[in-house]
Amino acid sequence: MFKKILVAIDASDYSLRVIPTALGVARKFDSEVFVLHVAEHDRGRSAIYSTESAADATRLVLDAVKLMRDAGIAASGKVHDVAAGHVAKNIVETAMANGSDLIVMGSRGLSDLQGILLGSVTNKVIHLAPITVLVARGAIPVKAKATQPAIALQAAPAS
């Protein structure tokens, strides 16, 4: 059913669940995987600004490809650099150019309204893509523990 899967990743905690989800689908359908990280840059008056280094972006993709290959999945990957606001379009265009029949990506878990207002890349891909988009969702583990239990506030007795 899904012979070519494009896996869109970024450096967020939400993206961490994309790899196991894509791996499971790829195993089930004996799919080939293409891992894509789209780095955004913004252009100032005299320079181009990026939020991450090219080395970090490349390492992210190489690590994901290695995980896929170690699990016996045929995988390759690439980093694209696009102007701010064009990530979703690039993901869909890359999926189409590669002949992908499934896009797997993560989500911050925003509501539809929040996604529209905040410009969710996942929301845009879902609306732009002419192929199936699988959104890997779930709770993000809390990294910090509370030092004290929550205490219920009580109203002072009426005098």
- Among 30-34, 81-85, 108-112, the range of highest mean pLDDT: 30-34
Other Cβ atoms closer than 10 A to 131 = 15
Per residue in 114-145, pLDDT (tens digit) is 555 545 888 899 999 999 999 987 655 555 55
**Residue (of 71, 85, 1) closest to 35 by Cα position:** 71
Residue 41, pLDDT > 50, answer yes
Count Cα atoms within 13 angstroms, Cβ side, for 70: 8
* Mean pLDDT value across residues 83-89: 90
Give residues with Cβ within 8 angstroms of 76, minimum separation 6.
Answer: 33, 34, 35, 65
Cα separation, 12 vs 108, in Å, equals 9
54-70 vs 18-29: helix crossing angle, rounded to 10 = 40
Cα separation, 101 vs 134, in Å, equals 11
Per residue in 1-30, pLDDT (tens digit) is 899 999 999 888 777 789 999 999 999 999
Contact yes or no for 128/89 (Cβ under 8 A): yes
74 three-class SS: coil
- Of the two residues 70 and 156, the one the predictor is more confident about is 70
Place domain 4-136 in its CATH homologous superfamily: HUPs (3.40.50.620)
Cα separation, 116 vs 134, in Å, equals 18
Q: How confident is the model at residue 85 (pLDDT cuts 50, 70, 90)?
A: confident
Alpha helices (H) along 71-128: 87-97, 112-118, 121-128
Give residues with Cβ within 8 angstroms of 27, minimum separation 6.
Answer: 71, 72, 73
